[in-house]
Structure 1
Amino acid sequence: MKKLVLIIAIFMGVAACKVNPFTGKKVLNFYPNSQIFPMAFAQYDQFLNENNVVENTAEARMITNVGQRISSAAERWLAANGHPGYLSDYKWEYNLVNDKTVNAWCMPGGKIVFYTGILPITQSERGIAVVMGHEVAHALADHGAQRMSAGTLQQVGAIAGNIAIKDEQTRNMFNQAYGLGSTIGLMLPFSRSHETEADLIGLQIMAIAGYDPTEAAELWKRMKANSGGQAPPEFLSTHPSNDTRIANLTEWAPSAKQEAMKFGVTTFK
Structure 2
Amino acid sequence: MKKLVLTLLVFMVAMACKTNPFTGKKMLNFYGNRQIFPMAFAQYDQFLSENNVITGTDEARMITEVGQRISSAAERWLDANGYPGYLKDYQWEYNLVKDETVNAWCMPGGKIVFYTGILPITQTETGVAVVMGHEVAHALADHGAQRMSAGTLQQIGAVGAAIATSGESAETQNAFMQAYGIGSNVLGMLPFSRSHETEADLIGLQIMAIAGYNPDEAAKLWQRMKAKSGGQAPPEFLSTHPSNDTRISNLTAWAPQAKQEAAKFGVTSFK
Same fold (TM over 0.5): yes
* Residue in 1 that maps onto 2:249: 247
* Residue in 1 that maps onto 2:15: 14
- Residue by residue over 1:66-100, the C-alpha shift from the partner in whole angstroms, topping out at 9 and shown as x without a partner, is 00000000000000000011100000000000000
TM superposition score normalised by structure 1: 0.98
- CA distance in 1 between partners of 2:268 and 2:237 (Å): 38
* Residue in 2 that maps onto 1:3: 4
- CA distance in 2 between partners of 1:108 and 1:197 (Å): 16
Q: How does 1:194-213 map to 2 (within 5 A)?
A: 194-213=196-215
TM superposition score normalised by structure 2: 0.98
- CA distance in 2 between partners of 1:234 and 1:250 (Å): 19
Q: SS of 2:221's equivalent?
A: helix
Q: Percent identity?
A: 78
* Residue in 1 that maps onto 2:155: 155
CA deviation after TM superposition for structure 1 residue 169, in Å:
2.3
- CA distance in 2 between partners of 1:15 and 1:247 (Å): 33
* Residue in 2 that maps onto 1:176: 178
Q: SS of 1:105's equivalent?
A: strand
* Residue in 1 that maps onto 2:219: 217
Note if contact 1:40-1:108 (Cα within 8 Å) is conserved in structure 2: yes
* Residue in 2 that maps onto 1:50: 50
Report whether the alignment pairs 1:257 with 2:226.
no
CA deviation after TM superposition for structure 1 residue 15, in Å:
2.1
Report whether the alignment pairs 1:64 with 2:57.
no
CA deviation after TM superposition for structure 1 residue 173, in Å:
1.5
For residue 238 of structure 1, the aligned residue among 237, 240, 251 is 240
Note if contact 1:133-1:205 (Cα within 8 Å) is conserved in structure 2: yes
Report the residue type matching 2:113 in the other structure.
V
Note if contact 1:15-1:26 (Cα within 8 Å) is conserved in structure 2: no
The number of residue pairs the alignment matches comes to 268
Note if contact 1:106-1:112 (Cα within 8 Å) is conserved in structure 2: yes
RMSD of aligned residue pairs (Cα, Å): 0.7
- CA distance in 1 between partners of 2:113 and 2:82 (Å): 29
Note if contact 1:29-1:145 (Cα within 8 Å) is conserved in structure 2: yes
- CA distance in 2 between partners of 1:121 and 1:37 (Å): 30
- CA distance in 2 between partners of 1:169 and 1:6 (Å): 28
Note if contact 1:136-1:202 (Cα within 8 Å) is conserved in structure 2: yes
* Residue in 2 that maps onto 1:95: 95
CA deviation after TM superposition for structure 1 residue 7, in Å:
2.0
Note if contact 1:97-1:114 (Cα within 8 Å) is conserved in structure 2: yes
CA deviation after TM superposition for structure 1 residue 3, in Å:
3.0
- CA distance in 1 between partners of 2:208 and 2:31 (Å): 28
CA deviation after TM superposition for structure 1 residue 56, in Å:
0.4
Q: SS of 2:242's equivalent?
A: coil
CA deviation after TM superposition for structure 1 residue 8, in Å:
0.8
- CA distance in 1 between partners of 2:190 and 2:261 (Å): 30
CA deviation after TM superposition for structure 1 residue 165, in Å:
1.2
* Residue in 1 that maps onto 2:31: 31
- CA distance in 2 between partners of 1:32 and 1:3 (Å): 25
- Residue by residue over 1:192-212, the C-alpha shift from the partner in whole angstroms, topping out at 9 and shown as x without a partner, is 000000000000000000000
Report the residue type matching 1:240 in the other structure.
P
* Residue in 2 that maps onto 1:142: 142
Q: SS of 1:35's equivalent?
A: helix
